[in-house]
Structure 1
Amino acid sequence: MSVALQPVDTIEVDTCEGRVRGFWRDTPGAVARSAAFLGIPFAQAPVGSLRFSAPAPMEPWVGVRDALAYGATAQRGDPGVTLIPEPSVPGESTLNVNVFTPDPSHRTDSMPVLVWIHGGGFISGSPASPWYDGRAFNRDSVVVVSLGYRLGFEGFGAIQGATSNRGVRDWIAGLEWVQRNIAAFGGDPSRVTIAGQSAGGGAVLTLLGMEHVQHLFHSVYCASGAIADVTSERGAEAAGKLAKAVGVEATVEGFSNVEEESLLAAQGEAFKLGASDLTAGLPFGPLIDGELIVRPTPESLRMGVGSDKPLVLGATDDEFSMIVQGKEKFLRWLPLALLLRPFKLPAEVRRAYLRANPEVAACGHGAVLGRFITDNMFRTVVVRVARARGEAPTWVYRVAFKSKAHGSAVHCIDVPFLFDCLDGPLVERLTGENPPQELADAIHGAAVAFMRDGDPGWTPWSSEPDTDAVFGGAEATMEVERGGYGGALPLV
């Protein structure tokens, strides 16, 4: 898959670090064109002495720097078949941004800005996905920025003697770049919405719960957010396990002597997603280090951190149900009472969960296990965060649209609707044939309204608890309901 967009007509913009050259392209459905500036570095390449350090400020350059092709990604090699096409781009300068704007000269009435942080479980993913191209948001007068950050152990591993939370610091450095430079691209630095999906959704919730970064954004949009909140004990355990796998001490000196390729290979072998990750949590992600992140995100939100920031958050109905596809014949022989026992739930919680989900149980044991995984990892996050926020402005949604390819509302199904890119590459592989444009109009339109006006268009949970919008349910577009997350409540 090509990751370079072919320039037809170039355009130049001055940033604080130097002049960059992007290019114009046509935007379907829009009267005017939009411009793309790709692979602009916001920090120095994290290699050599900077490998396990905080992002270092980018040195200014002389002349014009081409921003005509996507920059290097922290994801390496062929990721294989993924739900979202997220290509890897080789190179060292992985800390870069892509900017999509309707008009860089749009200065008299600056436009709202969407900063997108990609997902991938904090170990994979790429800002160079064609789905993250901001042309549909540009059509609606929103500037879009996607940013790269260090992944896996390189970005989040707890290493003795190294800077902690390097990936989180990359997000912050990217947002600081936006504050310095987005006005030059027609964006309003006082109207920045940080948004992400899956691990990216967890990223924006983490940032929402950090006191000292509140000035970097105005509002938050979280899709299927997975909060890591890795404890110091869990981080040390993961570092020790990986150090043993590569035969070094769990120190910055030890890991610095291991080539990136070898470390990635060992990471892939040592850490595989399983049932334990649903209870112990992910091994890599934002770390509660007592310095940059001082407490779990929900606790910070309960304390009122970020309470002035409007928040939209939600999940799909069957995020990870695909994990159990093809296993129904085996699972049906297990009594329902035993099905959830490996997840170490108290018996009364297991019983309450099954009572709360009779319609799921009626679809079979595989449906129950799939919904439990979805609830445990994603839908309970929505409820916990909405409750923790109290009266802070919070809107909740769920996506019920069933993929014709997978038979359920699977993980990532909402992304092409959010970005209104249903004609994008490999979309139908996820959604099935002929995904409904009216659903894209609803999901994308609500997001634009939120970024532009601070209200996505339905009753906020913070005013009427347990109220949510459902996209793609009985109605093809959107309807408002009560209790859409009731099935997850026994796990909260």
Structure 2
Amino acid sequence: MTVDRESHPGRYAGASSPEPAGTHVETTITAGTVVGVAQHGVARFLGIPYAAAPVGAHRFRDPAPAPEWAEPRDARRPGPTAPQTPYPGALGEVLPSVEIPGEEFLNANVWAPARPTANGHPVVFWVHGGAFSRGSNALGVYDGEAFARDGVVLIAVNYRLGAEGFSVLDGVPRNLGLRDLRFALDWAIREAPAFGGDPTRITLMGESAGGTAVAALLAMPGVAERVAGAIIQSGPLEALPAERAGRITRAQAKHLGVPATAAAFAEQTPAQLLEAHSAVSAGSNPVLGGPGFGLVLDPETVPVSPAESLPGLADRVPLLIGTTEEEYRLWFVPGGLITRLTRLHLFLARRKVGVSANAVRLFHAHRPGASAGELLGAIATDVLLRVPALRLAERRRAAGARSFLFEFGWKTPVQHLGAAHSLELGFVFDTLAAPDVRAMTGEFAPQALADEMHAAWVAFAASGDPGWPAWSERHPVRVFGGAGEGLASDLRGDEARAIAPDLSLPAR
């Protein structure tokens, strides 16, 4: 990277006011020169296209290389975001959205230490969550300055969402959004040296749907041997058969009055597809179900669910994986659903997923006074997220692989969300001051906890070890915040075994 210490407003292609603060810094990648800004020892290069805009002839097609540019390209501001609608109602108050119009939304934001090192800095490749239908790299919570400040290059990417990226359509490649991410990963490996990064020390990292995508990427042929580690935060380790994954596509097609084909969907504008998504997904819930987007089993991209494919394919790759203590509260509390769930809902749900009545009694004994909604949510958290993570760690241990487990337990007072899904993100990124983080944490989130978590994630990116023991026969789990702060042994292992009696996790 080279530094231009004079400011030249309007000099760069795409430049616009206001002028971002800091010193201009340039670097050249395969497609051309990009101009970022350096401040406080961190260089930012934002909105860099890693693939061609997925519009026109590229819509509903595999990602293609971005066109090259001749003049230096302004990369001082975030680029466009993928078409999406904000989260509705009370949920939208704690999960704000950023919408930046434009076609070049297959872009990357890069935060890098302004001073290079001889061997290159470790790199984190960040994949945002949002149920495969929302989110972007432009959210304040994902600002990578703290990672770059601490010697890590952070590359955050956008990918196609919703109907554009995860429809199950005749004549359309499956999992287009995941194909975008694989294309972006190849871009990150190729271009990392231009930002001072070491392409042999890339850690994949994602949360929620982003964690699911990281697991799927890691299981793709040719990926595990090219990355140094992986971090999966609250990511379901599953992909669905086309029949199930295509429910939302068929529902959208019916709502629009068109067949579920590439030609028919290509005739719809992104806004029409978003309206159809809002209409058919109203009332659906990641915990209770309903039509939603997700990964689909596909011979080219996801031949089997990541939970089945990761053991054996990625055993040499260190894995940091975990959940929040009360994942479910993000979906049950805003809007008051938690108060409307009854014992009948609990009975029907536990029968549907094969959870015994004894397991329900155990969860209740550990949570005296809990409502039916709270019990259902705690059980659902284990069924969907915690038990799959434990099972994966145990299978990897048997193969000699290192897995580091964590749980986030600090409880926010906002909307009585407790230790809800995605709450840990502001602590991991050390962005507690960002407005979208404060919308969920409130004004007084503990900075010391952010310092602790962020340092552990940086250590893992740098060395493959976050600073606590790897999963072993002692079942260690690092708990961040809450009453259980510290290293726990066999954390609620009795509940996990009650949910999954086949779990090869011997009682201690």
TM-score (norm 1): 0.90
Q: Secondary structure at the match of 1:137?
A: helix
Mapped partners of 2:269, 2:230: distance in 1: 37
| 1:249 aligned partner, one-letter code | P
Aligned: 1:23 with 2:37: yes
Aligned equivalent of 1:396: 405
Aligned equivalent of 2:11: none
Mapped partners of 1:165, 1:4: distance in 2: 38
Tell me the alpha carbon deviations over residues 129-168 of structure 1, each in whole angstroms, 9 at most, x when there is no partner: 1111111111210111100000012101111111221101
- Equivalent pair of 1:101/1:138 in contact (CA under 8 Å): yes
Aligned: 1:219 with 2:229: yes
Aligned equivalent of 1:29: none
Mapped partners of 1:478, 1:213: distance in 2: 33
Q: Secondary structure at the match of 2:222?
A: helix
2:300 to 278, 285, 291: 291
| 1:22 aligned partner, one-letter code | G
Give 1:319 shift.
1.0
Give 1:479 shift.
2.9
1:89 to 100, 121, 126: 100
| 2:308 aligned partner, one-letter code | E
The 1:469–1:238 alpha-carbon spacing in structure 2 relative to 1, beyond 3 Å, is same
Q: Percent identity?
A: 35
Aligned equivalent of 2:478: 469
2:110 to 94, 99, 114: 99
Structure-to-structure mapping, 1:239-278, within 5 angstroms: 239-272=249-282, 274=284, 278=287
- Equivalent pair of 2:123/2:152 in contact (CA under 8 Å): yes
Aligned: 1:377 with 2:384: yes
Mapped partners of 2:338, 2:165: distance in 1: 37
Give 1:215 shift.
3.9
Mapped partners of 1:378, 1:347: distance in 2: 16
Aligned equivalent of 1:159: 169
The 1:264–1:407 alpha-carbon spacing in structure 2 relative to 1, beyond 3 Å, is closer
| 1:428 aligned partner, one-letter code | R
| 1:52 aligned partner, one-letter code | F
Q: Secondary structure at the match of 1:375?
A: helix
Give 1:350 shift.
3.5
| 2:425 aligned partner, one-letter code | V
Give 1:347 shift.
7.0
Aligned: 1:14 with 2:33: no
Give 1:389 shift.
2.3
The 1:395–1:281 alpha-carbon spacing in structure 2 relative to 1, beyond 3 Å, is farther
The 1:4–1:417 alpha-carbon spacing in structure 2 relative to 1, beyond 3 Å, is farther
1:439 to 446, 449, 454: 449
Mapped partners of 1:216, 1:262: distance in 2: 39
Aligned: 1:125 with 2:139: no
Give 1:348 shift.
6.0
| 2:28 aligned partner, one-letter code | D
The 1:305–1:282 alpha-carbon spacing in structure 2 relative to 1, beyond 3 Å, is farther
Aligned: 1:349 with 2:363: no
| 2:374 aligned partner, one-letter code | A
Give 1:486 shift.
4.0
- Equivalent pair of 1:230/1:286 in contact (CA under 8 Å): yes
Aligned: 1:313 with 2:321: yes
Mapped partners of 2:55, 2:168: distance in 1: 18
The 1:403–1:258 alpha-carbon spacing in structure 2 relative to 1, beyond 3 Å, is same
The 1:24–1:488 alpha-carbon spacing in structure 2 relative to 1, beyond 3 Å, is same
Mapped partners of 1:15, 1:348: distance in 2: 53
Structure 1 gaps, min length 5:
27-32
Mapped partners of 2:268, 2:28: distance in 1: 39
Give 1:58 shift.
1.3
Compare 39-48 and 245-254 and name the one that shifted more: 245-254
Give 1:370 shift.
2.5
